[in-house]
Structures are given as C-alpha cells and as structure tokens.
C-alpha cells in the first residue's frame, strides 16, 4: 500500500495538488478567475520561475544555492545605480549586470569546489555577504526613476502576453531541452546521482559544478532585471524570500534534495502552485504571515516525502 501511494504521488501528486489549489481559490477568492488576475499571476511567477530553473539545475546536480535572492538584490541595485546615478547606457548596464550575476554564481561553485565546503554552507555565507553589499551600494536606500525604455522588460507586452512571461517560457524550453535532450543534462544528473561515479566516468565534475552555479547566477541576474523594470525601483531587500521559495518550488516539483532526480516541467508546476497560493491568499485578505507558515509546511512535507523515497531506495539497494 505504501509503495503504491509513493508511486502515485511521484507520477500525479503535483498535478493533483495544482488542480486542488486552483479549484479552491477559484471558489473562495473573489475575482481569482478574472483574465486580468490570471495574467497577473503569470507575470508574478515569471521572475521567480526563471530563478527556480537555475536553482533546480543546481539541486539536480547535487548542490544547493541559498544566495540567489541576495544575488538578485545586488544585481538590481547595481543596474539601478549605473543607470540612474552614473547615466550608463541601458545596453551596457544590462551586459555588466549579467556578467556580474554570472560571476557571483561562479564564485559559489569555485568556493565549494576548491575549498571542499558543503554548498549549503558556502551559499549561506555568500547570502549574508551579498545582503550587506546590497545595502552598502546606496546606504540602504532604494533607487527609483529607471529610464522608460528599460521598463519594457518588466512592464511591456507582446500582444496580451507580458514580456516577463515570454522570457520565462524561453527559460523553461531551454532548461527542458538541456536537461532532457543533451549530454550536458545527463552529466548534471550523473553529478547529482553519484559524484565519484561521474568522475570515474570521465566527467569533469569540478568544471561542471562551476558551470551549473554560473547558470544559476545568470538566471538570478535576468530575474533582477525584470524585477527592477517592473517595479521601477531597485530595492536592497528585493528577493529576500526567493532562496527558500525556490527550494520549496523545486522540492514540490519533484527535485530530490539529495540530487540526481527531478524535471524542469515539475518545478514549473511547483512555481505555479506557489504563485496561485500567494495570489489567492492576498485576494482573500489573509495575513501575509500565514503565507510563510503555509510555504514552510509545504517545504517540510515535500522534503519529508523525498527523504522517505531516498530511504526506501537505499533499503532496496542494501537488500539487493
């Protein structure tokens, strides 16, 4: 019975939860099904979803990145400072921000590889460092008044579809193709499944680890550009909740906390579920602190189920 329940959850659990959550708020939350609100949900989850694509790859590769939220804050403050305070042209400011974002991600990978420190500790440390840097850039004050042309990335539309949603879809397609159809994707799964076996198979695990963290930093920088463009402001505390929200969405979508398992499609469903939860609870005027409580419980439940599956697998291997 337990085995059947676990297999059922692995195959259909995330989709059943999506239907249940959507149906609940469709009935309980006023104006939830309004076209404007549905588009708003998609636009809200687009920034978050882009980062989750990067975090999912890191987790599938056996790593962890708790610093993505603060990477976004630093990237956002950086581009805001360049465009507003230094009058740097938009294209140059965007390129510099993306490069810095990639370097921040790469730094996590390099520190973890060269100093042999657990990724969760490395990224916890860099999260605290970047949190300070974000506030130091302008003394803790937000930067407002972005150029009109820059706002398109966060506020623009192509037809009725917001530009951030289009960018999110492109990241989903890229991530799915990379992980499912390329050798690089297979190497990332191998890295998370058994690092030593991957090394013996000829995979350069150190370079691959740095590359995965670099891509995660790239995702954070793109999300930061969208966030600044959408809000017309660079906030030093922006993205502060993203680190654990991303982990929640990834685990909810089937990514194993131990690495080596998960799909981009599953994490996208996890992102949408969290987006619906946030939006629906706001429409119902539920205290925002309850959102944290609910997300925390979801994370605990998702990780508990994942750990249960890992323990079962290890027992089967030991018995074989």
DSSP per-residue string spanning 5-56: HHHHIIIIIHHHHHHHHHHHHHHHSTTTT-HHHHHHHHHHHHHHHHHHHHHH
User: Is pLDDT larger for residue 306 or for residue 61?
Assistant: 61
* Sign of the dihedral through C-alpha 270, 271, 272, 277: positive
**Confidence band of 230 (pLDDT split at 50, 70, 90):** very high
Nearest-CA neighbor of 144 among 230, 211, 214?
230
**Residues 146, 229: contact at Cβ < 8 Å?**
yes
pLDDT tens, position by position, 9-40:
667 778 888 898 899 999 988 889 898 899 98
Q: How many Å apart are CA 234 and CA 303, to the nearest integer?
A: 33
% residues pLDDT > 70 (the chain): 93
**Confidence band of 207 (pLDDT split at 50, 70, 90):** very high
Q: What is the pLDDT at residue 7?
A: 63
User: Is pLDDT larger for residue 179 or for residue 286?
Assistant: 179
DSSP per-residue string spanning 175-223: HHHHHHHSHHHHHHHHHHH-HHHHHHTT--HHHHHHHHHHHHHHHHHHH
Instruction: Spell out the domain ranges in the chain.
Output: 37-239
pLDDT tens, position by position, 92-123:
999 999 999 999 999 999 999 999 999 999 99
**Confidence band of 304 (pLDDT split at 50, 70, 90):** confident
**Confidence band of 251 (pLDDT split at 50, 70, 90):** confident
pLDDT at 79 over 90: yes
pLDDT at 139 over 80: yes
pLDDT at 165 over 80: yes
Q: What is the pLDDT at residue 1?
A: 47
Residue 171: count of CB within 10 angstroms of its CB: 22
* Secondary structure of residue 234 in the 3-state scheme: strand
Instruction: State how far the alpha carbon of 202 is from the alpha carbons of 183, 187, 198, 209, in Å.
Output: 13, 10, 7, 14
């Amino acid at each position: 019975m337990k085995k059947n329940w676990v297999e059922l959850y692995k195959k259909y659990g995330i989709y059943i939860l999506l239907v249940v959550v959507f149906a609940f708020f469709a009935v309980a939350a006023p104006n939830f099904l309004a076209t404007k609100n549905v588009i708003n949900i998609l636009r809200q989850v687009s920034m978050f979803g882009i980062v989750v694509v990067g975090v999912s790859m890191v987790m599938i590769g056996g790593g962890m990145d708790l610093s993505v939220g603060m990477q976004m804050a630093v990237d956002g403050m950086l581009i805001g400072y360049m465009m507003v305070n230094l009058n740097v042209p938009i294209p140059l400011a965007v390129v510099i921000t993306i490069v810095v974002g990639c370097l921040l991600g790469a730094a996590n990978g390099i520190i973890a590889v060269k100093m042999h420190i657990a990724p969760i500790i490395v990224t916890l440390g860099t999260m605290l460092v970047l949190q300070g840097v974000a506030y130091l850039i302008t003394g803790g004050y937000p930067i407002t008044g972005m150029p009109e042309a820059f706002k398109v990335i966060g506020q623009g539309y192509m037809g009725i579809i917001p530009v951030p949603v289009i960018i999110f879809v492109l990241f989903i397609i890229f991530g799915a193709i990379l992980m499912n159809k390329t050798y690089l994707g297979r190497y990332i799964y191998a890295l998370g499944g058994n690092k030593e076996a991957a090394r013996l198979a000829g995979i350069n695990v150190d370079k691959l680890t740095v590359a995965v963290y670099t891509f995660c930093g790239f995702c954070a920088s793109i999300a930061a550009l969208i966030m600044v463009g959408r809000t017309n402001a660079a906030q030093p505390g922006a993205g502060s909740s993203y680190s654990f929200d991303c982990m929640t969405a990834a685990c909810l979508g089937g990514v194993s906390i131990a690495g080596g398992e998960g799909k981009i499609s599953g994490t996208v469903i996890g992102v949408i579920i969290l987006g619906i939860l946030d939006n629906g609870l706001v429409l119902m005027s539920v205290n925002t602190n309850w959102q944290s409580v609910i997300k925390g419980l979801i994370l605990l439940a998702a990780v508990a189920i994942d750990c249960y599956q890992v323990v079962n697998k290890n027992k089967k291997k030991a018995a074989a």
